[in-house]
Amino acid sequence: MKKMLKAATCLIMVLGLTSAAFAAATHTITVKATIPTLNGMTVTLSKVVGTTFTTQADNTLMDFGTLTFDTVNSIFTAAYYFALDIGVLNNAAWTVQHTPSTIYNRTTGNTAQKLDSNINVSFFNQLTSTTANNIAKVSFLNSARTVTSTNIATGWLRIYYGIGTGDPANPDNTGVTPILSTQPAGNYQGSVTLSLTP
Amino acid sequence: MSCIKRITGISICVVLLSGLCGRANAASSKTVTLRASVPVISGVTLNAARATGAQLASLGEASTLDFGTLIFDSVNHIFTASDYFAVDIGIENNSGPWTLTHTPSSIYNRTTGNTSQNLDTHINVTFVNQLDDTQANMLSKVSFANSAATFTSGQISTGWIRVYYGVGTGGPEDNPGVTPILQTQPAGAYQGAITITVTP
């Protein structure tokens, strides 16, 4: 009986060793990476004449200069317009708030003398340097807008600012009229504020 | 009686001498058995190395390949890693043909728990048959997402298998199906795994 037990034990040990040796060898390695939070905004200002863009060294000032009086149409016009390219560096859902501050006559100090309804503001989702999707075309007066990361799935946000021309071939945005000859002379100034959250 | 005793004594001596002489004259043959048992072995050893440029720094039998906090490349608007990894797989097997299986497990965002936020198509996985420290034959160049692969002893007649893991750069060196990690990739701690199995 003892002998049988011993033989059985040996057999089990041998079988055990053999099956262990034939088992598949497996190793698992963990792969890790951490992506940090991004939160930033770059603003590039260009002066546009026709279709030629010239990047401005100072991206804090859009100066239309002294407007030109168009004696044919009896309106004031500008020789150029501006494009503001806004690159958002953010890897979570984001919002860019565009807040206008009235462009009024600083010479007279009369806030009722303003150009808010005379300037086109057009928001685009720029896909490449030559292709874009329109987001909104409004007057400076109505340019308080929120653009979200949903609006800019790819590419970047571009905002154009241009004095109204009254040209039916290139219609001004809704609510924009040209600056008439009756507009009081003076230095007009206002601002736009762009805020990124979070 | 004493004479018989003496004769018997002499006879025994003769018999003994005869016996000795007979043995000395016979052909001498001796067989010695030598025995050793070679056990069945079936195992795999992994040695990882962190690579910066062409320099490999051994991590030993590391169980984690940690790319660390990725760097934002503000020119190309992508996330990059300063290092990549090489894992050398040594197979110990004397029981005939073997098969090695590489099984990836998704590297997803553990911070948000969102499995659709993953890096599976942003990591190059390159399998080579390393012949020595400097020479290798290419086996396969894929993305982590497509890195489920099987290699057999028939493919590795000499040398060993080395697997490289590297974050996509957007350059021509990226493997098919690999794109860089764009700036829109949600922040978080990403983690996945690879399992290497050798059978039998």
Residues A48-94: pLDDT tens digits?
999 899 999 999 999 999 999 999 999 999 999 999 999 988 888 89
Q: Taking CB atoms and an 8 Å limit, are A89 and B72 in contact across chains?
A: yes
> The tokens 């037990």 sit on which residue?
A5
Question: What is the chain A residue with the closest CA to B191?
Answer: A32
Q: CA triplet B168, B51, B60: central angle to 5 degrees?
A: 125
Tell me which range, A12-21, B5-14, B101-110, is most confidently predicted by mean pLDDT: B101-110
**Where is pLDDT greater, at B8 or B182?**
B182
Q: Which of B62, B190, B200 sits opposite A34 (nearest CB)?
A: B190
Q: Which helix (H) or strand (E) segment is B165 a member of?
A: strand B160-167
Question: Do A28 and B87 lie within an 8 Å CB cutoff?
Answer: no
**CA dist., res. A168 & res. A177, Å (int):** 11
DSSP B144: G
Report the C-alpha gap between A114 and A116 in whole angstroms.
6
Tell me, yes or no, if B165 comes closer than 8 A to chain A by beta carbon.
yes
Q: Is the pTM of this model over 0.80?
A: no
Number of A/B CB contacts below 8 angstroms equals: 122
- Cross-strand partners of A19: none
**Residue B19: band (very low, low, confident or very high) from pLDDT cuts 50, 70, 90:** very low
Are B190 and A36 a contacting pair at CB < 8 A? no
Nearest CB partner across the interface for B42, out of A25, A30, A90: A25
d(CA B42, CA B98): 9
Quick: pLDDT tens for A94-126.
999 999 999 999 999 999 999 999 999 999 999
Chain A residues within an 8 Å CB radius of B109: 35
Alpha helices in chain A (DSSP H): 2-22
pLDDT at B101 over 50: yes
Q: Residues B112-132: what's their mean pLDDT?
A: 97
Give one DSSP letter per residue of B39-88, joined into a string: PP-EEEEEEEEEEETTEEEEEES-SEEEEEEPEEETTTTEEE-S-EEEEE
A152 → chain B, closest CA residue = B184
Q: How far apart are the CA of B171 and the nearest CA of chain A, in angstroms?
A: 20
Closest CA to A25 of B155, B91, B161: B91
A33·B66 Cβ contact <8 A: yes
**Shortest CA distance from B99: residue in chain A:** A24
Q: Please tell me the predicted confidence (pLDDT) of residue B9.
A: 46
ipTM at complex level: 0.77
